[in-house]
């Protein structure tokens, strides 16, 4: 059986020409959405810990 | 009112220390990443088995070319990366290992990973939270997901987000 390797095993990356406008827009959209996701996750975490500490106080 | 002194972030990364490993002996050698100049690239030619035209990359005004070298041996380039700082991330145009670091008979391992981690570090330093994008051939998409924790956002575009960038930086630039 072939072993799955997690080490980067290439001699080069890229060289496929410039990004198209659509690709640039897709990257920006992904980064924006990813940022929002992280923010809401952090917010949810804060709310949960607030809830937990107010429960403990009660 | 007291005028606040403006402190700009107008800096250049000129060195970062890390290491690459000799495949045969297993010895590690400290390395540094620095901006490549035109003299460096005069010896980087297709006839010397480099695959890409690095002089062309160098001539693109929006791109910076960085070289990976062993400490105290700046003349021998182990690998090159062409980076462009965009408005929300760093775009990796091209990364290539030196001809003697390619294939089964490579001399040093870790060159490409090292340079990708450097791109992530540059992205953090330029305020882009480690985000780096690059293009992949379709047959290599899964390999980049497995080895770099990259995200495939469709077509040929891959992204290293903050989490992936931190993993790479911790791996290649441990404290």
- DSSP code per residue over B109-168: ESHHHHHHHHHHHHHHHTTSTT-EEEE--GGGHHHHHHHH-PEE-STTEEEE-HHHHHHH
- Which segments of B43-110 does DSSP mark as H helices, in order? 54-59
Q: Predicted confidence band at A58 (pLDDT cuts at 50, 70, 90)? A: low
Q: Are strands B90-97 and B73-85 parallel, antiparallel or unpaired?
A: antiparallel
Confidence of residue B138 (pLDDT cuts 50, 70, 90): very high
Taking an 8 Å cut-off on Cβ atoms, the answer to whether B112 and A26 are in contact is no
Nearest to B23 by CA among B104, B112, B113: B104
Q: What is residue B98's predicted lDDT score, i.e. its pLDDT? A: 97
Question: What is the spatial distance between Cα B102 and Cα B96, in angstroms, rounded to a whole number?
Answer: 9
Q: pLDDT at position A55, please? A: 66
Position B14 pLDDT exceeds 60 = no
Cβ within 8 Å of residue A16, ≥6 positions away: B135, B136, B137, B156
* A12 with B157: Cβ contact below 8 A: no
* Range of lowest pLDDT (A33-37, B49-53, B92-96, B162-166): A33-37
Residue B37 φ then ψ, to 5°: -110, 180
Tell me what percent of the residues of chain A surpass a pLDDT of 90.
33
Q: Which residues of A touch B82 (CB under 8 A)?
A: 14
In this predicted structure, what is the pLDDT of residue B174?
Answer: 75
Binding-face residues of A in 17-56 toward B, CB within 8 A = 17, 19, 23-24, 26-28, 30-31, 34-35, 38
Sign of CA dihedral B120, B122, B124, B128: negative
For residues B3-17, average pLDDT: 44
First to last CA, chain B: 42
Residues of B with CB under 8 A from a CB of A: 51-52, 82, 86-89, 91-97, 101-103, 112-113, 116, 129, 131, 133-137, 140, 143-144, 146-148, 151, 153-157, 159, 161-162
Contact A13 B153 (CB under 8 A): no
Whether this model's pTM surpasses 0.95: no
At residue A57, the pLDDT reads 62
Q: What element of type H or E holds B76?
A: strand B73-85
To the nearest 10 degrees (0 to 180), the angle between helices B111-125 and B162-172 is 120
pLDDT score of A39 = 82
Mean pLDDT, chain B, whole residue set: 89
């Amino acid at each position: 059986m072939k072993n799955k390797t997690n080490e980067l095993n290439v001699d080069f990356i890229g060289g496929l020409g410039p990004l198209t406008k659509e690709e640039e827009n897709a990257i920006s959209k992904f980064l924006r959405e990813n940022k929002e996701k992280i923010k809401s996750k952090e917010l949810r975490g804060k709310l949960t810990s607030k809830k937990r500490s107010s429960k403990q106080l009660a | 009112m007291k005028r606040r002194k403006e402190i700009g972030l107008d800096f250049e990364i000129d060195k970062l220390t890390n290491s690459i490993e000799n495949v045969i002996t297993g010895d590690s050698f400290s390395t540094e990443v620095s901006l490549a100049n035109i003299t460096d690239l005069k010896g980087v030619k297709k006839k010397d088995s480099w695959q890409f035209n690095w002089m062309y990359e160098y001539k693109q005004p929006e791109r910076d070319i960085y070289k990976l070298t062993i400490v105290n041996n700046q003349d021998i380039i182990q690998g090159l990366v062409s980076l462009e700082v965009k408005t929300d991330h760093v775009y990796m145009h091209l990364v290539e290992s030196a001809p003697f670091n390619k294939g089964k008979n490579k001399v040093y391992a870790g060159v490409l990973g090292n340079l990708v981690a450097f791109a992530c570090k540059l992205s953090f330093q330029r305020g882009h939270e480690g985000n780096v994008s690059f293009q992949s051939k379709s047959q290599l998409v899964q390999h980049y997901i497995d080895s770099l924790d990259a995200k495939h956002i469709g077509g040929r575009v891959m992204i290293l987000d903050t989490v992936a960038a931190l993993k790479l930086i911790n791996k290649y630039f441990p404290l």
